[in-house]
Amino acid sequence: MAVAVEYYLLLSAAVFCTGVFGVLTRENALMFLISVELMLNSANINLVAFSHFYGNATGQVFSLFVMALAAAEVAVGLGIVLVLYRNFDEVDVRNATTMRW
């Protein structure tokens, strides 16, 4: 029995909102990164769901791209987090405010 596509979309939306919530409220850079991952993966859910719905593999291929991108992003992001830690001895995003006007 196939699950109706709406449920996938609801799941995706829920995961996305969780990610947004995380980005907006967390102060820890690691939590930040995880939240961003959540948002990316919610997009993946959508891609796969629609791909399945339309019987077209393109969406699944794209989700693979997104995963690769997410991996790269995590690598860069963790690098930034490490540098943050080295400079401020903690990973609070509110500390790094020198990149402003």
Partner 1 sequence: MVGAFDFTPAIPLLPFAAFLVAMLVGHFAPRLLPKGGAIPGILATAGSLLLSIWTFLTVSGGSYHAQDIYTWVVGQNTFSLHFGILVDPLSAMMLVIVSLVAVLVHVFSLGYMNDEGETGLPRYYAGLGLFTFSMLAFVVADNLLMAFMFFELVGLCSYLLIGFHFREPGPPSAAKKAFLVTRFGDYFFLIGVVGILATFGTARFVAVGDGVHSFPHLAEQALAAAGGEGTMPEHVAHFLDVIGMNAETWFAILGLLVLGGVVGKSAQFPLHTWLPDAMEGPTPVSALIHAATMVAAGVYLVARMYGFYALLPTVLAIIALVGGFTALFAASMGVVKDELKQVLAYSTISQYGYMMLGLGTGGYIAATFHLMTHAFFKALLFLGAGSVIIAMHHNEDMWDMGGLREKMPVTYYTFLSGSLALAGIVPFSGFWSKDEILYEALIYGAGDSPILLAAYAMGLLAVFFTGFYTFRMVFLTFHGEPRSDTARDPHGVRWNVKLPLVVLGILAATVGLVNMTPVAELTGLHIEYLHQWLVIPEASDFAALGYDNYHHLLEQFAGYHAADIGPLAPGAVSLALALGGAGLAWVLYNVDSPTEHTEKLGGVKTVLYNNYYQDEYQVWLAQGVTLPLARAADTFDQGIVDGVVNGVSSVSLFAGSRVKRIQDGLVTHYAALLTLGLVVLLVAFGLLEGWF
CB of 35 to partner 1, least distance (A): 9
CB of 80 to partner 1, least distance (A): 10
**Number of residues near partner 1 (by CB under 8 A):** 14
Alpha carbon distance 66, 42 (integer Å): 11
Q: How many CB atoms lie within 10 A of CB 97?
A: 7
- Residues 13-72 interacting with partner 1 (rule: CB under 8 A): 20, 23-25, 27, 32
Residue 54 token pair? 């339309």
Alpha carbon distance 86, 89 (integer Å): 6
CB of 101 to partner 1, least distance (A): 4
CB of 48 to partner 1, least distance (A): 23
Confirm or reject binding of residue 101 to partner 1 (CB under 8 A): yes
Which residue, among 78, 68, 74, has the nearest Cα to 44 in the 3D structure?
Answer: 68
Largest CA distance in the chain: 56
Q: Which residues bind partner 1 (CB under 8 A)?
A: 20, 23-25, 27, 32, 93-94, 96-101
